[in-house]
Amino acid sequence: MSTIHSRPDEFIATEHKPGVWERSRRARTAILYLLPSIILFSVFVFYPMFRTIYLSFFLTDQAGDAAVFVGLDNYKYLLDSPAFLNSAKATLLFVLYTVPAGILLSLFLALLANEKLRGIGFFRTIYSSTMGVSVAASSVVWLFMFHPSIGMFNRFLALFDFPQIQWLLDPQWALVSVAISTIWMNTGFSFLILLGGLQNIDEHLYESARIDGAGYFYRLRRITLPMLSPTLFFIITISLINAFQTFGQIDILTKGGPAQSTNLIVYSIYREAFVNYQFGTASAQAVFLFLCILVATILQFRFGERRVHYQ
């Protein structure tokens, strides 16, 4: 009996036990591969993010360093501040103006450009070309088109004897004007993504449906849209986030005016931090925006993804 008992002990004793260094070999290799992106993300994403959250609990001095801890006072101040509430409202309106209209327009163009016609490549290039124009450059072009006296739009209205519109100077029109130019700027990207999605749909599905006698709109409703749903879901998410973060066109076209009507949150953060040097409240706004986008995206995933048919 004793020999039988002693055997397992011998085995354990002779078995080679790898050290921590050896056992973590795979993990270390993995980290090594991830290192470049970890460094980049840390410097440009994680550190600023945590710094922002930290600063949102402080009053800051001119250099932007934390001076007095105030807890949630910055947030309380924001929620009482009519200027911030106005910003939030303007941002929400801006999202509502740009996202649905922009996606419908891109979808329409993508459906047109997906037809097999001679020279369709030309239209595909044109429709996606706004992707290649920077926000700054296109904003300047739109600035001229919106110009009250020499702008294209007012000239056009004058042709038909309509009253002139102060596109960027009238508080009622300014947000709409910026929204129009933003839709134009975003169309190229959305168009390209949606066209790619459309081209991925198996041509045989349409042929089979044609043999069954399905008309264009029936095919659109029962084949194209369901098959495109993953792409639509992606582009809606991206557009929503982009719309919440709009900055460049505001800075060039209106600078948040007139009468704060286009003072979207990101622009308001910029003003608060780098014009008024109020880094504390600016950080609180940034955190607030972050939470808004987070909630919007989570809601979208919860309710939107149910209707998405992944292959």
Partner 1 sequence: MKKVELIGISKSYDRQKDVISNIDVRIEPGEFFVLVGPSGCGKSTMLRMIAGLEEITGGTLKIGEQTANRLPPSRRDLSMVFQNYALYPHLSVEDNITFGLDVKKVPKAERKKRAQDTAEMLGLTDYMKRKPRELSGGQRQRVALARAIVSEAPICLMDEPLSNLDAKLRGHMRSEIRRIQRQLGITMIYVTHDQVEAMTMGDRIMILHEGKIQQIGSPIEIYNHPANPFVATFIGSPPMNLAQAEADPGTSSVILPGGEPIRLPEGAFEGIGKGPVTVGIRPEFLMPAQGTSEHPVFRAEVTNVEVLGHETVFSFLAGTEEWTAKWNGQWQIQPGDRIPIALDEESICLFDAKSGTLMKKPAARQLSVPAEGAAT
Q: Which residues bind partner 1 (CB under 8 A)?
A: 202, 204-205, 207-214, 218, 222-223, 226-227, 229, 309, 311
Q: Which is nearer to partner 1, 51 or 219 (CB)?
A: 219
CB of 206 to partner 1, least distance (A): 9
Q: At 76, phi and psi to the nearest 5?
A: -60, -45
The size of the chain, in residues, is: 311
Categorise residue 264: left if φ over 0, alpha if ψ from -120 to 50, beta otherwise.
beta
Q: Which is nearer to partner 1, 157 or 308 (CB)?
A: 308
CB of 299 to partner 1, least distance (A): 23
Q: Which is nearer to partner 1, 66 or 227 (CB)?
A: 227
Q: Which residues pair with 59 in a beta bridge?
A: 68
What is the sign, positive or negative, of the torsion defined by CA atoms of 121, 231, 247, 82?
positive
Nearest CA to 169 out of 182, 196, 151 is that of: 151
Only one residue has tokens 């709109």, namely 217
Give kind and range of the element (H or E) at residue 101: helix 82-113
CB of 207 to partner 1, least distance (A): 5
CB of 141 to partner 1, least distance (A): 41
Categorise residue 259: left if φ over 0, alpha if ψ from -120 to 50, beta otherwise.
left
Cα 245 to Cα 299: distance, rounded to the nearest angstrom: 18
CB of 229 to partner 1, least distance (A): 8
Q: Which is nearer to partner 1, 143 or 214 (CB)?
A: 214
Q: Which is nearer to partner 1, 157 or 227 (CB)?
A: 227
| Sequence-distant (≥ 6) Cβ neighbours of residue 215 within 8 angstroms | none
